[in-house]
Chain A
Amino acid sequence: MDMILHILIHVPLVTALVLLLLRDPRQVRLAALLGSALQLVISLVLLWGYRAERKAGNTAQMLFESMHEWYPSLGINYHVGVDGIAVAMILLTAIVVLCGILFSWNVQQQPKEFFFLIVFLSAGAYGFFISLDLFLMFFFLELAVIPKYLLIAIWGSGKKVYSANKLALMLMGGSALVLVGLLGMYYSAGNTFDLMKIAEAGIPPGLQSLLFPMIFIGFGVFTAMFPFHTWAPDGHSSAPTAASMFLAGISMKLGGYGCLRVATYLMPEAAQQYSWLIIVLASIAILYGAFATMMQKDLKYINAYSSVSHCGFVLLGIGMLTTTAVAGAIMQMVSHGLMTALFFAAIGMIYERTHTRQVGELGGLLKTLPFISVVIFIAGLCSLGLPGLSGFVAEMTVFVGSWQNPGAFHRTATIIGCASIVVTAVYILRALGASVMGPIRNEGYLRLQDAAWNEKLASAILILAILAIGFAPFWLTDLVMPDSQLIMNKIIGGVSP
């Protein structure tokens, strides 16, 4: 079991190399599928192993830890390990990548390069979630930027070059801010990038209030924090299906995870100091995202703006600084990752068949594409927080956690967050009603083919995961709650509200 994290990071790299050697497009996609399926199996084994260790009474903060010296003179190590939060994120990544590859099964243009970039991207995400060395983490964070640019610029649609440039530059800008913050922590903690050592050494509060905004905003760009969200709608809507799924499903979670693990965990005093600002920005993102979605006509833009709103809940949970709210934020990351991947996949399937994403031009799809219509409906219902699906569980946890804070300010923010669900219901039901229900607008739609085996399989996996969280949230709560508690203990000093 100790080797599992090494295997986890090496499988996608080896898969990517194998893809480079293959020539036949069919072999390429098969290899990509096998590699990502294997990765899902490894992630499930990791989950099982993690739970077994915890049951056996292992209370170490990080499990399966291993460390090798890399650049000893600079204090840079290859240091990996996971806690419950990371395990949840790794599982999410494995599911979304596998489904993304299934949905891109029939990509025609340069399939080898396409699958190579997707697999390469996933390596960046896995590496990011398991890193316990900030240099290593930063390495993987940046590793995942350029493949996104190429995926959007080459395989995208619409104003793809503009969107790809905007995304790459904004994300790099975010990581530049993170870099400055990391270097500040590096020197303050005595020339080490090690996360655990920095946590132990502590950073002087004065320096914290300088570095915290940089790191939080830097990672906030990745998670589309208001007002740094503008890359998200353009990027998501121009990207090919699998890239949209990855972007919204995983890439935005890199930011949330970083905000929590690096900014909040390592700089607890500053987290308290700035929590009001995080809450204000998150509330704006929630409301602004929801209202902006109301105005959209393009299905991808609808989901992209609603992602801004939903990721606002993640930041709201982190800003509220209670154990329940933070756990809710993590659950919202997982839930939103699955839901938005399913949503983008369904939109991709519709677009592939009808060649339009405009709500006004679609209609009556339920009659001709029953499977796909049901899929998009499930995604939509999950998005608006229907009980029994994962969105409800996650958002409820965030709200309960937020409400634990006394005081008018926190309660107002919570009420604003709750109120946005009404808006969500309006735009989701309106968009789906117009595009899926109603009369058939275009005669050509009668001849459309419903989902193929690969699409059915991928949708089934995602829906299963969403239902699993919706009906039995305990396995996820058990996974993330102790570690959220740990992070909060550091901030509040052992007292949990």
Chain B
Amino acid sequence: MNMDFFILMKSELILTVIIFILLILKIGEGIRDNAVLMHIANGLLLLNFIAGFFMNREGALFSGMFVTNDVLSLEKNILNFGTLLVSLQAFDWLKNHKHLLEFYLLLLSTLLGMFFMISSQNFLMFYLGLELSAIPLAALVNFDLERPRSSEAAFKMIISSAFASAISLFGISLLYGTTGTLDFAYMADYLHGSELQLFAFIMVFAGFAFKLSAVPFHLWTADVYEGAPAPITAYLSVISKAAMVFVLITVLGGLFRDLEGMWYNVLYLSIIVTIVVGNLFAIRQQNIKRFLAFSSITQVGYILLGLSAGNETGFSSAIYFLIVYLFSNLAAFGVVTLVSAATGKEGIDDYKGFYSTNPMLALVMALALFSLAGIPPTAGFFGKMFLVTAGAGKGNYLLIAIAALNMVVSLYYYLRVVKAMFVDKSESPIAKLEGSLMSGLSLAICMAGIIVTGFVSGLFEYIVSLFIKV
């Protein structure tokens, strides 16, 4: 063991140290002020985020089980940054919560699991990370212990998550059976696209699709999103999805690279049903969290469309879109969190007349929704355009036409919320909200991200250059 170990695993090690620091604080009970504890946790997360930019090296550990490179470091940084934003947004919700530190311990454990999952080059390591990221999440969903809906959601989540893992494991065992190894590097040599391997791939992909909530494995999403506390919903819809997409990038671009003709068809079907079904269900929703759940299902369809290109452009545009999506979705959930923490209202109709009482928050929400809908000049437009551009590289115009026309459908339901906020009048609109500085800060960061990331091409070009380097 030499310095390599510390440098290559620095994100994971720092995160572990943070978890231990928080654990010691918990045991010591030295600090009882929730606000101070949260500032400490946020500060530590920020440190890890900053550290993620330095000393990034390429390399492998544990006989190739764990690898890291510039792309993977960037992916971890994105997750870390998103977690920081979620933590800032949770401030109002948690400042009087008596289990504050448990929240951070669980949250950071899932993040650590995701880090390992992304870096894994071996199915054992991958499964370890997957479970580490999944089980604490169910506990987080049930974090408001007194709410029966949360318990129901957590139960749904843990069952479906275990089911998904089991399916994935079955697929992995079949892959092991046909190749005799769990190591990605060796396994790739033995993948020739036999029928059993196709079946195995579909099983593994189905497990992924559960976590991504791609149709037809989306059924848990809306209930869990509705039942979970709003910041946890935000975390589920952004961070945990992003981690899974990053794994898909590794798997599709590395392990299954030679089987592209095979997995393209699986993705093709998955994209169409995910986009269409997500859209159709989103139209009818009355609860804003369920609404955002179905809209995020549709967004996954577009991400898969980018991935289906199977080249650097596709993968870079998927990562770029995830950054944009992180800003947009967290901005939308930030507003939802504020409203639901202050008033408990979660219906779309409750947002009627929102602009007259809370103009700034309504603008934030509108910009976030426009970004999700892919309307210029928000970054969402660029994100969607790049995904669709990458996806069109295969020359499958039917798929592109379906995706493009579904943007129109999605515009309809995003406009519904915009209309409720700006056009409709209400006799009892949501009163003027006083958010904390922390949630204001997170919304401001998201707004800056939505406005700037599109016009400034540096970010996208940076991601592309990383891919070319790797």
Q: Let me know if B246 is at the binding interface, CB within 8 A.
A: no
| B404 pairs with A146, CB closer than 8 A | no
Give the distance in Å from the alpha carbon of A274 to the alpha carbon of B73 in the complex. 53
Q: Which of A123-175 contact B (CB under 8 A)?
A: 135, 138-140, 142-143, 145-146, 149-150, 153-154, 161, 165, 168-169, 172-173
Q: Which of B386, B408, B418 has the most CB of A within 10 A?
A: B408
Q: A145 near B375 (CB under 8 angstroms)?
A: yes
The reply to whether the CB of A403 lies closer than 8 angstroms to some CB of chain B is no
Q: Please tell me if the beta carbons of B370 and A183 are within 8 angstroms of each other in the complex.
A: no
On whether the beta carbons of B389 and A169 are closer than 8 Å, the reply is no
Is there an interface contact between B408 and A172, defined as CB atoms closer than 8 Å? yes
CB-CB < 8 A to B400: which residues of A? Answer: 179-180, 183
Are B422's CB and A73's CB within 8 A? no
Contact A149 B460 (CB under 8 A): no
List which B257-291 residues lie within 8 A (CB) of chain A: none
Residues of B within 8 A of A214 (CB): 401
B419 touches which one: A71, A142, A161 (CB < 8 A)?
A: A161
Answer yes or no: A177 CB below 8 A from chain B CBs: yes
The A-contacting residues of B in range 397-427, CB under 8 angstroms, are: 397, 400-401, 404-405, 407-408, 411-412, 415, 418-419, 422-423
- Considering only residues 451-470 of chain B, those with a C-beta below 8 Å from chain A are 457, 460-461, 464
State which residues 159-192 of B face A: CB under 8 Å: none
Q: A25 an interface residue at 8 Å Cβ cutoff? A: no
Rounded to whole angstroms, the CA-CA distance of A348 and B401 in the bound complex is 40
Q: Please name all residues of chain B whose beta carbon is closer than 8 Å to the beta carbon of A140 when the two chains form the complex.
A: 376
A71 close to B461 (CB less than 8 A): yes
Q: Are A183 and B422 in contact (CB under 8 A)?
A: no
Are B460 and A73 interface neighbours, CB within 8 A? yes
Q: Pick the residue among B392, B404, B415, B457 that contacts A187 (CB under 8 A).
A: B392
B7 at the A interface (CB under 8 A): no
B side interface size, CB within 8 A: 32
Contact B423 A153 (CB under 8 A): yes
**Contact A187 B412, CB 8 Å, known A73-B460, A74-B389, A154-B423:** no
Cβ contact of B404, chosen from A74, A135, A176, cutoff 8 A = A176
Q: B400 CB to closest chain A CB, in angstroms?
A: 5
A210 interface residue per 8 A CB criterion:
yes
**A471 contacts across to B, CB distance below 8 A:** none
Residues of A within 8 A of B381 (CB): 139, 142
Question: Cβ of A142 and Cβ of B375 under 8 Å apart?
Answer: yes
Taking a contact as CB atoms under 8 Å apart, the answer to whether A183 and B392 are in contact is yes
Complex contacts, A180 vs chain B, CB 8 Å? 392, 397, 400-401, 404
B405 touches A176 (CB 8 A): yes
Neighbour of A179 across the interface among B376, B377, B388, CB < 8 A: B388
Partner of A210, one of B389, B393, B397: B397
**Contact partner of B415 among A70, A74, A142, A165, CB < 8 A?**
A165
Residues of chain B in range 58-98 having any CB-CB distance to chain A below 8 Å = none
Known: A74-B313, A145-B375, A154-B423. A168 touches B386 (CB 8 A): no
B386 close to A74 (CB less than 8 A): yes
B395 in the interface, Cβ–Cβ < 8 Å? yes
Complex Cα gap A258–B397 (Å): 21
Interface residues of A in 180-213 (CB under 8 A from B): 180, 183-184, 186-187, 210
- Shortest Cβ distance from residue A16 to the other chain B in the assembled complex, whole angstroms: 11
> Which residue of B has the minimal Cβ distance to A186?
B389
Report the minimum CB–CB distance from B456 to chain A (whole Å).
10
**Are B389 and A168 in contact (CB-based, < 8 A)?**
no
Task: Kindly identify, within residues 429 to 475 of chain A, every residue whose CB is under 8 Å from any CB belonging to chain B.
Answer: none
Please give me the residue from chain B that is nearest to A72 by CB atom: B461
Q: List, in ascending order, chain A residues with CB within 8 A of B23's CB.
A: none
Interface mask (B371-394 → A, CB under 8 Å = 1, otherwise 0): 000011100010001101100110
Chain A residues near B422 (CB-CB < 8 A): 150, 153-154
Given A161-B419, A210-B397: A73 and B392 interface contact (C-beta under 8 Å): no
Residues of B within 8 A of A161 (CB): 419, 423
Nearest to A140 among chain B residues (CB) is B376
Find chain A residues with CB under 8 A from B376 CB.
Answer: 139-140, 142-143
Docked CA distance A172–B407 (Å): 8
Chain B neighbourhood of A177, CB < 8 A:
401, 404
A residues less than 8 Å from B460 (CB atoms) = 71, 73-74
**How far, in Å, is B460 (CB) from chain A's closest CB?**
6
CB closest chain-B residue, reference A69: B457
Q: How long is the Cα–Cα vector from A74 to B386 in the complex, in angstroms?
A: 8
Distance in Å from the Cβ of A332 to the closest Cβ of chain B? 29
Q: B397 to A73, Cβ gap below 8 A?
A: no
The answer to whether A183 and B388 touch across the interface, beta carbons within 8 angstroms, is yes
Answer whether A173 and B370 are a contact pair too, CB < 8 Å, given A161-B419, A186-B392. no
CB–CB A169/B395 < 8 A: no
Q: What's the minimum C-beta distance from A255 to chain B, rounded to whole angstroms?
A: 16
Are A187 and B464 CB-contacts (below 8 A) given A146-B375, A165-B415?
A: no
Closest 8 CB pairs of A and B: A176-B404, A183-B392, A73-B464, A172-B408, A143-B376, A153-B423, A71-B457, A173-B408
* Between-chain CB contacts (< 8 Å), 30 pairs: A71-B457, A71-B460, A73-B460, A73-B461, A74-B386, A74-B389, A138-B385, A139-B381, A143-B377, A149-B415, A153-B423, A154-B422, A154-B423, A161-B423, A168-B411, A168-B415, A169-B408, A169-B411, A172-B407, A172-B408, A173-B405, A176-B407, A177-B401, A179-B385, A179-B400, A179-B404, A180-B392, A180-B397, A180-B400, A186-B389
Chain A residues within CB distance 8 Å of chain B: 70-74, 135, 138-140, 142-143, 145-146, 149-150, 153-154, 161, 165, 168-169, 172-173, 176-177, 179-180, 183-184, 186-187, 210, 214
